[in-house]
């Protein structure tokens, strides 16, 4: 490698995030306890600066650093999504950490590192890089899940996530090793070329692909690798749950699409049918089990499993429209789910006590704005037209039908009907039951307000005028299928 | 003027939505101004919709006042609307019933602002369904409309409102998601056959009619069924009707009026607009079965209505019966049957809307709807009794009132298609006279049996204002039916010709195959 290949602009967002993460960590001891929240704004400034860094990054398209790193519409779009997720998470956590007496700014460092890991996953063109990004993301998230150190459930959540997560990382690494053995490379482009030549043993490659599918399936929580999700989501601090339900999931899908479409097109008919089964199973299990959840965090956990199923449908379509729909859906899902979790956070109040569905009874007559916002997010998750969720599902089902996955589309729309039941049930609680609680101690700090404004505006914008974002995702999809 | 005419559909459809948006900024304590504002907005929408009637060209069978703006160009989705003789009066019916429903909502006090916001959004959704000429846009309106209705039933409804609201949404959803799959399938097949990917109704329909896009019989069967299920649930056709009594009984008066008056018509409108022109072969193939279901619905609805102790439930089941007539007329494939069906859609909206308003009037006073709780109301409420009589007679199809024209045309058309069907359906006409008059007799005539009814007030000015427009319409549509039938002529003739021509082709093709 010579110096000429070093291109700072191509990795500028990751660099900025890492620097800000380190600065927040180093500055922490020097900031008095009452001013710790200022470091949240510093972290927020980091994510926004990284967003601006996307502009020079986008001007440096191509492969860099000995083809380890790739800049194209696909990676830039995902960078944008991940940075948006990080920014909204910071906005919802700032007040939460203060409220829960755990205002340790390491939280923001961890969040920025986790996000940097996600950016690496989006931009890497090489399996070892993917693994590094995956580990940076995972290790930061394990700590964040256990951030309520004195809370047993939070401990359980972190430990469970750590044990199962390490297990799945091992699967991934084993898959990478096998691929290296079969093709002599970990570079996606080289792997694809090697697989096209007749010399490589298909059995070994299929085994490797299966191992990677399992590992990434665990990260994105698709059935049958989803069992960890409800407990981990329930126990983790609510803003972390919100982050985990969108960030690692979107990053996992980013890798899944990139690796399988770039490196494994030659065994496409084998893995596409596996994805078909996974998608169908995930949509059915996630939606059906969500119906009986009395705890809103668990309900949203199962709903997030179901949504992973819809994205998997787009992967099973193996087409440009499929990738485009999946990217659109990841952005839409991130906005609406983070919005919902922001509201669950403020309604949970001290100690995350109020997370039972019946705690939401009569919210609309006491706090009409909060109830209306949560309704928008839930209706979008359910997929009512005019919201991002509908546009996303529509694009996904279109891609599925284009690839003649008729039964998968039918299963998808049928399970959507099931999802209406549990999302509407929350609305029933809020609007149609008498209040038992005055909700007088529910506060809406300005930071959460901003997070909600961003997510509700995004949810409605993507729902009503999806054309421009869809153009972006289509050109990103072309890159992924090069 | 031209600017108005080319955008009139947008103006009509979105006036209520803009009103809903403005209403959000009202202080919730100002009850009177909220009511007045809603009323003004809905009347405004009605006045705008009259522009459609005034400038409608009766000789033109195609879509008028058309507007088409690209919405999601990469997918061929347009914001595209238009009106023909079939949808024209359905839109006006919607804009007419909404202000009347708003007037019937004076007894609502709890969260009044939200109530009217949902009602206005519902109106936009309903108009949009009738005006949309793009499959995507149609589906958006079709689904979006569920949300305000869900809230209207679930928040402001009766005892079992939550059950009824969820049942309403889930039933409709189950029907319509498969239609979404069918819509996307049509889009892809049209794109692959012609090279243009578009959700335009006109383009896809003409591609099918001209044979540029050929659906195999197998595919046509599935697509037909997917569309049919969505509309049959909405109509509701027997045996998909079980959500209707629940929704009607639990909904507030205004909700019932709009549900019966407009929402059910979306089902029959969908059959006319989509199933017949897009899948003519399957429509003919299934016509006997669908007609059978319609006839079962006519008789079953009437018999069940007869034994209902609750007036609202009685009217709800009578809707199942009346809507059966409409479906029967549609699947007679005759000009008369089709015209009668469309006429009857309007009639049912007017008469049943009025019936629900009348039930609402005494419910507001007595908080009961049980027939047994009343009796002898004519003594205390003479004007109410007179109005009720006219509406009852209109509902059972007395000559001179609107119901007669529609039923007569439907039976005439059905008779041409099949003697048997017409004969059995005619029994339904008799049964409807039985249950309606019997209810009227028990509620209005005789002595006052219940002390609590002794002090009842007759109709007040507001209640007269919401009923008189409908009474005038009943007479007008009964006496001068041509005023309403003529604008439909061209469009109905086009529809019938198309499906008949295709049928001949189909039959010829079968003969050759033999």
- Would the pLDDT of A350 be above 90? no
Q: A402 and chain B: CB distance < 8 Å anywhere?
A: yes
Closest partner residue to B154 (CB to CB) among A384, A385, A431 is: A431
Strands A62-64, A69-71: pairing is antiparallel
B57, B45 Cβ separation under 8 angstroms: no
Beta bridge partners of A126: A187
Give A464→chain B minimum CA distance, Å: 9
Chain A, nearest residue to B156 by Cα: A432
Closest partner residue to B188 (CB to CB) among A385, A402, A416 is: A402
Q: In chain A, pLDDT over 90 holds for what percent of residues?
A: 66
Q: How far out from the chain centre does Cα A317 lie?
A: 20
Query: What is the predicted pLDDT for the residue at B1?
Result: 52
Give B437→chain A minimum CA distance, Å: 37
The 10 Å Cβ neighbour count of residue B484 is 23
**Which residues of B are less than 8 Å from A401 in CB distance?**
181, 184-185, 188
Q: What is the rounded end-to-end Cα distance, in angstroms, of chain A? A: 25
Six-digit token pair at B334? 């005759």
Query: Phi, psi (5° rounding) for residue B328?
Result: -60, -45
Give A9→chain B minimum CA distance, Å: 32
Helices (H), A263-362: 268-290, 296-316, 320-348
Query: What is the predicted pLDDT for the residue at B461?
Result: 86
Six-digit token pair at A73? 């519409």
**Which residues of B are less than 8 Å from A420 in CB distance?**
169-170, 173
The 10 Å Cβ neighbour count of residue B229 is 19
Q: B173 and chain A: CB distance < 8 Å anywhere?
A: yes
Helices (H), B307-418: 311-330, 335-366, 377-380, 382-396, 402-417
Read off the pLDDT of residues A44-93 as tens digits, 9 standing for 90 and up.
999 999 999 999 998 888 888 888 899 999 999 999 999 999 999 999 99
The 10 Å Cβ neighbour count of residue A174 is 16
Q: In chain B, pLDDT over 70 holds for what percent of residues?
A: 97
> Contact A365/B111, CB-based, under 8 Å?
yes
- Would the pLDDT of B315 be above 50? yes
Q: Which DSSP state fits A187?
A: B
Confidence class for position A326, pLDDT limits 50, 70, 90: very high
Read off the pLDDT of residues B245-268 as tens digits, 9 standing for 90 and up.
888 888 888 999 999 889 999 999
Q: How far out from the chain centre does Cα B207 lie?
A: 29
B435, B427 Cβ separation under 8 angstroms: no
Domain boundaries along the sequence of chain B: 279-514
Helices A106-123, A12-27: crossing angle, 10 deg rounding: 170
> Contact B140/A385, CB-based, under 8 Å?
yes
The 10 Å Cβ neighbour count of residue B511 is 8
Helices (H), B271-334: 276-278, 280-306, 311-330
Six-digit token pair at A225? 């690798």
**Which residues of A are less than 8 Å from B71 in CB distance?**
467
- Would the pLDDT of B302 be above 60? yes
Query: What is the predicted pLDDT for the residue at A327?
Result: 95
The 10 Å Cβ neighbour count of residue A407 is 11
> Contact B114/A368, CB-based, under 8 Å?
yes
Integer Cα distance of A336 and B169 in angstroms = 22
Give B75→chain A minimum CA distance, Å: 9
Q: A319 and chain B: CB distance < 8 Å anywhere?
A: no
Chain A, nearest residue to B73 by Cα: A467
> Contact A410/B181, CB-based, under 8 Å?
yes
Query: What is the predicted pLDDT for the residue at B482?
Result: 87
Q: Is A439 helix (H, G, I), strand (E, B) or coil?
A: coil
Confidence class for position A214, pLDDT limits 50, 70, 90: very high
Read off the pLDDT of residues B466-488 as tens digits, 9 standing for 90 and up.
999 999 999 999 889 888 888 88
Q: B162 and chain A: CB distance < 8 Å anywhere?
A: yes
Integer Cα distance of B10 and B18 in angstroms = 11
**Which residues of A are less than 8 Å from B150 in CB distance?**
424
CA dihedral B106, B110, B112, B116 (to 10 degrees): -80
Interface test with chain B among A325, A428, A475, by most B beta carbons within 10 Å: A428
Contacts of B183 (CB under 8 A, 6+ apart): B135, B136, B139, B199
**Which residues of A are less than 8 Å from B170 in CB distance?**
417, 420-421
Confidence class for position B505, pLDDT limits 50, 70, 90: low
> Contact A470/B75, CB-based, under 8 Å?
yes
Q: B52 and chain A: CB distance < 8 Å anywhere?
A: no
Q: B170 and chain A: CB distance < 8 Å anywhere?
A: yes
Query: What is the predicted pLDDT for the residue at A130?
Result: 94
**Mean model confidence pLDDT for chain A:** 91
> Contact B74/A471, CB-based, under 8 Å?
yes
Of the candidate ranges B60-64, B80-84, B184-188, the one whose mean pLDDT is the lowest = B60-64
Of the candidate ranges A230-234, B13-17, B56-60, the one whose mean pLDDT is the lowest = B56-60
**Mean model confidence pLDDT for chain B:** 88
Contacts of B377 (CB under 8 A, 6+ apart): B362, B384, B385, B443, B444, B448, B453, B456
Query: What is the predicted pLDDT for the residue at A423?
Result: 93
Q: Rounded to whole angstroms, what are the CA distances from B343 to A41, B407, B478, B484, B487? A: 65, 9, 11, 8, 11
Closest partner residue to B144 (CB to CB) among A365, A385, A427 is: A385
Read off the pLDDT of residues B169-200 as tens digits, 9 standing for 90 and up.
999 898 889 999 999 999 999 998 888 899 99
Closest partner residue to B147 (CB to CB) among A368, A384, A395 is: A384
Find residues 50-89 of chain A whose CB sits inside 8 Å of chain B: none
Instruction: State the average pLDDT over residues B421-438.
Output: 89
DSSP for B151-181 reads: HHHHHH--TTHHHHHHHHHHHHHHHHHHHHH
Q: Rounded to whole angstroms, what are the CA distances from B141 to A35, B88, B144, B262? A: 50, 17, 5, 14
Query: What is the predicted pLDDT for the residue at A60?
Result: 87
Q: Rounded to whole angstroms, what are the CA distances from B223 to A33, A310, A406? A: 65, 23, 12
Helices vs. strands in chain B: H and E counts, helices first? 22, 2
Q: B111 and chain A: CB distance < 8 Å anywhere?
A: yes
Read off the pLDDT of residues A15-44 as tens digits, 9 standing for 90 and up.
999 999 999 999 988 888 888 888 999 999
Find residues 99-138 of chain A whose CB sits inside 8 Å of chain B: none
Integer Cα distance of A129 and A119 in angstroms = 11
Confidence class for position B501, pLDDT limits 50, 70, 90: low
Interface test with chain A among B13, B113, B177, by most A beta carbons within 10 Å: B177
Query: What is the predicted pLDDT for the residue at B512?
Result: 44
pTM of the model: 0.93
> Contact A417/B177, CB-based, under 8 Å?
yes
> Contact A421/B75, CB-based, under 8 Å?
no
Closest partner residue to B184 (CB to CB) among A379, A401, A421 is: A401
Q: A413 and chain B: CB distance < 8 Å anywhere?
A: yes
Give A107→chain B minimum CA distance, Å: 39
Query: What is the predicted pLDDT for the residue at A432?
Result: 85
- Would the pLDDT of B30 be above 70? yes
- Would the pLDDT of A172 be above 70? yes
A373, A454 Cβ separation under 8 angstroms: no
Interface test with chain A among B24, B25, B28, B75, by most A beta carbons within 10 Å: B75
Query: What is the predicted pLDDT for the residue at A241?
Result: 94
Long-range contacts (CB closer than 8 Å, 24 or more residues apart) made by B106-113: B106/B35, B106/B462, B107/B253, B107/B364, B108/B156, B108/B252, B109/B31, B110/B156, B111/A364, B111/A365, B111/B28, B111/B155, B111/B156, B112/B28, B112/B31, B112/B34, B112/B35, B113/B23, B113/B24, B113/B26, B113/B28, B113/B34
Residue B137's nearest CA partner among B201, B188, B194, B85 is B201
Closest partner residue to B184 (CB to CB) among A390, A398, A427 is: A398
Give A58→chain B minimum CA distance, Å: 23
Confidence class for position A482, pLDDT limits 50, 70, 90: low
Interface test with chain A among B28, B110, B140, by most A beta carbons within 10 Å: B140
Q: B21 and chain A: CB distance < 8 Å anywhere?
A: no
Q: Report the complex ipTM.
A: 0.92
Six-digit token pair at B378? 């004519």
Give B327→chain A minimum CA distance, Å: 27
Beta bridge partners of A63: A70
> Contact A421/B166, CB-based, under 8 Å?
yes
Integer Cα distance of B268 and B324 in angstroms = 10
- Would the pLDDT of B421 be above 80? yes
Integer Cα distance of A133 and A140 in angstroms = 11
Integer Cα distance of B73 and B198 in angstroms = 9
Instruction: State the average pLDDT over residues A392-415.
Output: 93
């Amino acid at each position: 490698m010579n110096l000429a290949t070093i291109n700072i602009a191509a990795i500028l967002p990751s660099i900025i995030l890492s620097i800000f993460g380190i600065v927040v960590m180093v500055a922490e001891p020097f900031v008095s306890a009452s001013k710790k929240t200022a470091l949240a704004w510093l972290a927020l400034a980091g994510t926004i600066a990284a967003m601006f860094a996307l502009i020079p990054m986008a001007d440096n398209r191509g492969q860099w650093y000995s083809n380890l790193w790739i800049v194209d519409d696909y990676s830039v779009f995902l960078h944008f999504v991940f940075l948006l997720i990080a920014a909204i998470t910071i906005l919802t956590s700032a007040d939460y950490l203060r409220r829960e007496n755990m205002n340790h700014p390491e939280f923001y460092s961890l969040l920025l590192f986790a996000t940097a890991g996600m950016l690496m996953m989006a931009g890497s063109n090489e399996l070892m890089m993917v693994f590094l990004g995956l580990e940076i993301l995972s290790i930061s998230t394990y700590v964040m899940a256990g951030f309520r150190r004195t809370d047993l459930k939070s401990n359980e959540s972190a430990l469970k996530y750590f044990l199962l997560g390490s297990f799945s990382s091992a699967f991934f690494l084993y898959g990478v090793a096998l691929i290296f053995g079969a093709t002599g490379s970990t570079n996606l482009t080289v792997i694809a070329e090697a697989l096209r030549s007749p010399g490589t043993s298909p059995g070994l490659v299929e085994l490797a692909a299966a191992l990677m599918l399992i590992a990434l399936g665990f990260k994105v929580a698709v059935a049958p690798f989803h069992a960890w999700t409800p407990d981990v989501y329930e126990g983790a601090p609510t803003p972390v749950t919100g982050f985990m339900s969108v960030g690692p999931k979107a990053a996992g899908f980013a890798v899944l699409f990139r690796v399988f479409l770039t490196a494994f097109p030659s065994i496409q008919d084998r893995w596409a049918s596996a994805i078909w089964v996974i998608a169908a199973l995930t949509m059915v299990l996630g939606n059906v089990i969500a119906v009986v959840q009395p705890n809103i965090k668990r309900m949203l956990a199962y709903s997030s499993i179901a949504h992973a199923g819809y994205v998997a449908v787009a992967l099973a379509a193996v087409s440009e429209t499929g990738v485009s729909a999946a990217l659109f859906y990841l952005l839409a899902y991130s906005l609406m789910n983070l919005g919902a979790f922001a509201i669950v956070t403020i309604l949970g109040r001290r100690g995350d006590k109020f997370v039972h569905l019946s705690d939401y009874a009569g919210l609309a007559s006491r706090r009409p704005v909060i109830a209306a916002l949560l309704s928008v997010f839930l209706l979008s998750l359910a997929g009512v037209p005019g919201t991002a969720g509908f546009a996303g599902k529509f694009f996904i089902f279109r891609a599925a039908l284009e690839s003649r996955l008729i039964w998968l589309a039918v299963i998808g729309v049928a399970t959507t009907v099931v999802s209406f039941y549990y999302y509407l049930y929350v609305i029933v609680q809020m609007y149609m039951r008498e209040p038992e609680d005055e909700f007088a101690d529910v506060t809406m700090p300005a930071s959460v307000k901003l997070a909600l404004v961003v997510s509700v505006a995004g949810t409605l914008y993507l729902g009503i005028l999806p054309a421009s974002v869809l153009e972006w995702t289509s050109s990103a999809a072309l890159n992924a299928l090069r | 003027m031209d600017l108005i005419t080319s955008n009139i559909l947008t103006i009509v459809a979105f006036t209520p939505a803009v009103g809903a948006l403005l209403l959000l900024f009202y202080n919730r304590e100002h009850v009177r101004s909220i009511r007045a504002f809603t009323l003004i907005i809905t009347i405004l929408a009605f006045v705008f919709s009259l522009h459609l009637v005034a400038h409608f060209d009766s000789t033109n069978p195609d879509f008028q006042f058309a507007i088409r703006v690209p919405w999601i160009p990469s997918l061929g989705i347009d914001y595209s609307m238009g009106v023909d003789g079939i949808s024209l009066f359905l839109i006006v019916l919607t804009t007419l019933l909404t202000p009347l429903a708003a007037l019937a909502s004076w007894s609502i006090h709890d969260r009044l602002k939200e109530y009217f916001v949902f009602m206005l959004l519902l109106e936009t959704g309903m108009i949009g369904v009738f005006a949309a000429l793009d499959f995507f846009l149609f589906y958006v309106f079709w689904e979006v409309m569920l949300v305000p209705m869900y809230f209207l039933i679930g928040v402001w409804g009766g005892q079992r409102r939550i059950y009824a609201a969820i049942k309403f949404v889930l039933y409709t959803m189950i029907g319509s998601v498969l239609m979404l799959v069918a819509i996307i399938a049509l889009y892809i097949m049209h794109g692959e056959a012609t090279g243009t990917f578009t959700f335009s109704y006109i383009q896809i329909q003409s591609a099918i009619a001209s044979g540029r896009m050929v659906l195999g019989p197998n595919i046509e069967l599935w697509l037909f069924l997917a569309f049919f299920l969505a509309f049959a649930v909405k109509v509701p056709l027997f045996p998909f009707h079980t959500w209707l009594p629940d929704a009607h009984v639990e909904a507030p008066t205004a909700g019932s009026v709009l549900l019966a008056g407009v929402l059910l018509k979306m089902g029959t409108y969908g059959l006319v607009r989509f199933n017949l022109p897009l899948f003519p072969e399957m429509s003919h193939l299934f016509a006997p079965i669908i007609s059978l279901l319609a006839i079962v619905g006519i008789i079953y609805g009437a018999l069940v209505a007869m034994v209902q102790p609750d007036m609202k439930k009685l009217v709800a089941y009578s809707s199942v019966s009346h809507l059966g007539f409409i479906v029967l007329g549609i699947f007679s494939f005759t000009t008369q049957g089709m015209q009668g069906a469309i006429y009857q859609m309007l009639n049912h909206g007017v008469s049943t809307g009025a019936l629900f308003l009348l039930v609402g009037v005494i419910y507001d006073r007595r908080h009961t709807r049980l027939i047994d709780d009343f009796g002898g109301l004519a003594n205390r409420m003479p004007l109410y009794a007179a109005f009720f009589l006219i509406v009852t007679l209109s509902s059972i199809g007395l000559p001179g009132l609107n119901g007669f024209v529609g039923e007569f045309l439907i039976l005439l058309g059905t008779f041409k298609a099949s003697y048997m069907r017409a004969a059995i359906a005619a029994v339904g006409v008799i049964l409807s006279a039985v249950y309606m008059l019997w209810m009227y007799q028990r509620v209005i005539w005789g002595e006052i049996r219940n002390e609590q009814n002794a002090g009842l007030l007759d109709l007040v000015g507001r209640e007269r204002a919401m009923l008189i427009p409908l009474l005038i319409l009943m007479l007008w549509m009964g006496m001068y039916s041509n005023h309403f039938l003529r604008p439909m002529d061209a469009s109905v003739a086009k529809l019938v010709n198309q499906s008949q021509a295709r049928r001949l082709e189909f039959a010829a093709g079968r003969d050759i195959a033999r």
